[in-house]
Amino acid sequence: MSLKTDSKLEKILRAGHLAVTSECGPPRGTDLSKVEEKANLIKDCVDAINVTDNQTSVTRMCSLAACIKIKLMGLDPVLQMVTRDRNRIAMQSDILGAAGFGINNMLCLSGDHQSFGDCATGQNVHDLDSMQLVQTVRHMRDEGKFLGGGDIAGPPKIFVGAAANPFADPFEVRVPRLAKKIAAGAEFIQTQCIYNVEKFEKWIGLANDRGLTEKVFILAGVTPMKSAGMAKYMKNRVPGMDVPDEIIKRLSDQPKEKQAEEGIKICIETMQRLKEVKGVAGFHVMAIEWEEIVPELVKGAGLYPRPEV
C-alpha cells in the first residue's frame, strides 16, 4: 500500500475499508462556530468531511476557511473547489494555501451555474473545467510544478477527487466520462445522490467491466429525504437528479410526521444494498442541513465504528 498523501481518507480506502464521508455547508456569515457545530455532529462517524464551495451558487463563507477550521479541530476536511469562480492563478494559489494548512483532500467540480444563486448577474470564470482542475492538482503534486512551469517549493500533497453523476444525460458517456476523469488523475469519486439504485448498479457494472473501479475509489452518494415535498423538489428542480416515482410514493404514503423516518429508512436500505456491490468503496452521506442524522445513517448501515488507521 503506497500512500501519496497524509490523507486519512486515502489511508482508509487503500487499506480496503469502506470509507464514509459527509459534508458541511459553510455559513452565510462569519460565524465559524457554525462550522464547528456541524463538524462535531458528524466527526465520530465519518473519515473525512467535505466542505462545499458556494453550493448552488449562493454566496457563503469560503470553503478554504471552513476547511482550515475543521483541520484545526484535528479532523480531515475535503476542500471542494469549483471552477466557476476562480481562474487558474486563484485555484493554484488556493491549493497551496490548503496544503499549507495540512488539508489533504480536494474534490474538483465545475459548480452549479450562477443563475441558480444569489448573484445571477455575475460573470462566471471557467478558465479550466473540472477535469482540467484534477489534472492541475495532480501536476502540482506529482511534478512539483506550477502550470506555468515553475518549481513549487513544497508541492501540495493532496488526495484528488472528482464527482460523477451516473444519472445525468447522455447515459452512454457517463462511464467514458468516468474513464476520462481517472485518466486526468482522479483518485476518488463521490457520486451524485443515488435514489435510482438500479441505474447506479448498471453504471458501476459498466465501470467494473472496463476495470475502472480498480483504478479509482468510488464513494456512493446518498442523501436522506426529509419529506415527500423534498423528494418532489429534487426530482423536478435539481439538475441531474433522478428520483424514481416509487421513492416519492413511499414517502407520500406516510403521514407528514413519519416521512422523515421513512426517508432515513430508504437511505439506510440503499447503503446496505450498495455495500455489497462490487466497485463501491464507500459512501458520501450528504444530509443537507440535517447533519445530526448522519450518525444514525452510518450506524444503520453497519458502518460504525469507523476503523482506526
Q: Which residues bind other proteins (CB under 8 A)?
A: 83-84, 88, 110-113, 115-116, 124, 126-132, 135-136, 147, 163-165, 168-170, 172-173, 176-177, 179-180, 183-184, 192, 239-240
CA distance 142 to 160: 11
CB of 28 to other proteins, least distance (A): 23
Give the span between the Cα atoms of 164 and 210, in whole angstroms. 16
Q: Return the bridge partners of 282, or none.
A: 19, 219
Min CB(176)–other proteins separation in Å: 5
Q: Which of 149, 206, 144 is nearest to 178 (CA)?
A: 206
Q: For residue 219, what is its C-alpha cell?
A: 464513494
Nearer to other proteins, 17 or 126 (CB): 126
Q: At its nearest, how many Å lie between other proteins and the CB of residue 138?
A: 12
Based on CB atoms, which residue is closest to other proteins, 62 or 147?
A: 147
CB 71 within 8 A of CB 100: no
**Which cell is 200 given?**
447506479
The amino acid sitting at 234 is: M
CB of 83 within 8 A of CB of 126?
A: yes
Q: How far is the CB of 48 from other proteins (least distance, A)?
A: 21
Nearest residue (CB) to other proteins, 34 versus 84: 84
For the CB of residue 58, give the shortest distance to other proteins in the complex, in Å. 15
Task: Find the length of the chain.
Answer: 309
Q: Measured from the CB atom, is 83 or 213 closer to other proteins?
A: 83
> Whose Cβ is closer to other proteins: residue 61's or residue 212's?
212
Kindly tell me which of 106 and 293 has the beta carbon lying closer to other proteins: 106
Strand-pair partners of 162: 108, 189
Q: Which three cell numbers stand for residue 198?
A: 438500479
Quote the least distance from Cβ 184 to other proteins, whole Å: 6
